[in-house]
A and B are shown apart, each in its own frame.
Chain A
Amino acid sequence: MKTPLFPFKAQIIDIKIETADTKTYTLLSKDAAYTAKPGQFNMVGYPGVGEAPISLSSSVTDGIFQHTIKGVGRVTKFLERFKIGDEIHFRGPYGTHWPLDMQSGNDVLIVAGGVGLAPLRPVIHEIVKMRNFFGKVTVIYGSRSPDNIIFMDEIETWRKDIEVFLTVDEIPLNMKWNYDVGMVTKFIDKSTVNPLNAYAFICGPEIMMLFVSKGLFFRGFLPSRVYVSLERRMKCGIAQCGHCQHGSKFVCKDGPVFAYKEITKLPDGLL
């Protein structure tokens, strides 16, 4: 019997530069049977450097999938130097997924901040693919500044199927920006989704998720249908190392995608 800590190898078959510190890596798994659901994550790493939990930013087709990674920690910074053809290792998928098994006709509101759009991208792809299944769909994506926007070229293609609000906190001097300015919360009221009929999926900094959730409840969204994806540092991904414990929850196993009401008012969290 193999340890669940045993990783698979994956080859980097493409790299796309999203921003100055964020890249999308297209990986080919050496395990052909590998599959994952939108919102789940892998422990991605390299020998000698360690592993970090990273959500998939795409679905999995024939062992090919994507991770959009911002270089901020030991592992993610190390990954920045990798080139097409290089090997890394990964294991997963772990955790819960965004609940797309809703009834046909439900509206969906997606709110993302910064690199938090990455775990929601496979949801958007799924919605675009099965557009008639869903009711009204809105994406509100906010970032600190125009040069922190990820998937920029792709966002435009979403517009023909779904309502998109693209916003930045501020525009640096002399930078051109044709979209909105302001916090994502500002656009909740502009969305055409019907709150009582809608699911909301939020991913971004925890403080942002807190204010977005509050804004949604104020507007009539039900806490049981508001979902967030939490971020914690993890060593194992399999509910053993204990690092991601949040209250009685293991973020790796019980999350990372939680219904808001499951995790509200737990110790050491903002939500």
Chain B
Amino acid sequence: MSGSGMTGENTFQNSDFLIKKDIFFEFIDTLRREYRVFGPVKEKNHYAFREISSASDLYMDYSTTMLSPGKMFIYKPKEDVLRFRIESGISIEEIRYGVEKQIIVGIHPCDIHSILYLDRVFLGDFIDPYYKIRRENTLLIALNCTKVLENCFCSSVGTGPYLKVQSGYDIVLTDLGDEYLVELKSLKASQIFNIKGKEAYPDIFKLKSDKEEALLKSFRKSIDINGLDELFFKNLNHPVWILTADEKCLSCSNCVMVCPTCFCYDIVDEMSINLKEIRRFRQLDACQDFKFAEVHGGNYRQRRASRLRQFVIHNLNYTSQYGLIKTVGCGRCITWCPTKIDLTEMVKEIQRNPLH
């Protein structure tokens, strides 16, 4: 891959600079000539990733957003995949999307990791061309966190609060007051980054790790993922599933919709009024929906408890799917649950009182 190469892009020299923030934002504005730029903006009392018309729209001190940028601008919530025409026979036409170069600025480490997870789903055994074309034409500018929120538990799963992974994105920023530490992580980044700044000196990295240390101390939520695979396997009938489902879960699917790594989709056919033209699109679907695991003559997850268990176990176990844990510790499923179901608490309950 060009741009946001996933792996193996070690052919360029990593370089790190100290750049005044206003200079950095000017740089972002120059990029708008060639790229659509998306980033965090403030909307009334919340933050969201939106397309910006000026770097001054950016609100880099944002806490978190309801939706992750990866599931808005790379894996789209809704996507046309095919068009059919029925005359004497069927004609099938695929939907082609033009290449649109885009940049997403200010992505927190958990959300970078969520994109790396989606890469495995959509660029793995079967390649989704729509995801691929956007992924290749999107520059990812990460931003290390400056605060830890109530529901963050990225430090427990190795995805934050500072980005450790060295490839799969383009630039990572660390806020150092008036300046950003700018670390270039891809060939593409080193090609477009044309502003002069002080080269980062070793003390800066000491400062960076001190800041990270301080941040690590402020986590209030944690999860011990050691042995979870086996623990779940032995506790499929633990009362916590039924109790939480019966007392709290509304099956509203908020958890799935805000989850940056939940990838499931439905495919829907929409027919024109003359019954001749059909648009086939896919859109996000959720395992919390009653019909999700329905088959002829039954439903594999008819009970709310088994649907809730599916969400929790899929996020925290099933490492055998892609070799890594699905959750990125962003805490969105906790934040946006109307009844405040907390998967970390459910796990703790099983760890405290296992069935076996």
Contact = CB atoms under 8 A, between A and B. Distances in A.
Interface stretch (A57-65, A144-152, A161-169, A244-252): A244-252
A267 B82 contact: no
Contacts, number: 124
A265 B233 contact: yes
Interface string B55-66: 000000000000
B265 interface: yes
B265 A236 contact: yes
B233 A47 contact: no
B126 A4 contact: yes
A236 B281 CA distance: 12
Contacts of A250: 321
B292 interface: yes
Interface of B: 81-82, 84, 86, 89-90, 92, 94-95, 121-122, 124-130, 132, 233, 236, 263-269, 271, 275, 278, 280, 282, 285, 287, 292-297, 300-301, 306, 309-310, 313-314, 317-321
A49 interface: yes
Interface of A: 1-7, 9, 46-51, 72-73, 87-89, 205, 231-233, 235-236, 238-243, 245-248, 250, 253, 265, 267-269
Given A4-B128, A231-B295, A233-B294, 16 more contacts: A5-B267, A6-B94, A47-B280, A49-B269, A72-B296, A205-B297, A238-B126, A239-B125, A240-B121, A240-B122, A243-B292, A253-B125, A267-B306, A268-B306, A268-B310, A269-B300
A267 B294 contact: no
B267 A87 contact: no
Which 6 residue pairs of A and B lie closest in terms of their CB atoms, listed nearest first? A242-B264, A47-B84, A238-B126, A248-B318, A47-B278, A48-B271
Contact of B128 (A3, A46, A89, A235): A3
A6 B275 CA distance: 20
Nearest to A2: B94
Nearest to A72: B296
B278 A48 contact: yes
B129 A3 contact: yes
21 contacts: A1-B132, A3-B81, A4-B126, A4-B128, A5-B267, A47-B84, A47-B92, A47-B280, A73-B296, A89-B90, A233-B296, A238-B126, A240-B263, A241-B264, A241-B266, A242-B285, A243-B285, A243-B293, A248-B317, A268-B300, A269-B300
A233 B295 contact: yes
Contacts of B267: 5, 50-51, 235-236, 241
Contacts of B295: 231-233
B258 to A, nearest CB: 16
Given A253-B125, A267-B313, A247 B92 contact: no
A46 B121 CA distance: 26
A47 B269 contact: yes
Nearest to A205: B297
Contacts of B321: 248, 250
B126 A268 contact: no
Main secondary structure of the interface of A (DSSP, over half): loop
Contacts of B292: 243
B192 to A, nearest CB: 26
A232 B317 CA distance: 21
Contacts of B285: 235, 241-243
A240 B126 contact: yes
Contacts of A46: 90
Contacts of A247: 318
A88 B90 CA distance: 8
Given A2-B129, A231-B295, A269-B300, A89 B233 contact: no
A73 to B, nearest CB: 6
Contact of A268 (B82, B233, B268, B293): B293
Contacts of A88: 90
Contacts of A2: 94, 129
B199 to A, nearest CB: 40
A214 to B, nearest CB: 19
A9 B126 contact: no
A88 B128 CA distance: 24
B84 A232 contact: no
Contacts of A268: 293, 300-301, 306, 310
Contacts of B296: 72-73, 231, 233
B121 to A, nearest CB: 6
A51 B84 CA distance: 14
Given A3-B82, A3-B129, A248-B318, A240 B294 contact: no
A248 B301 CA distance: 15
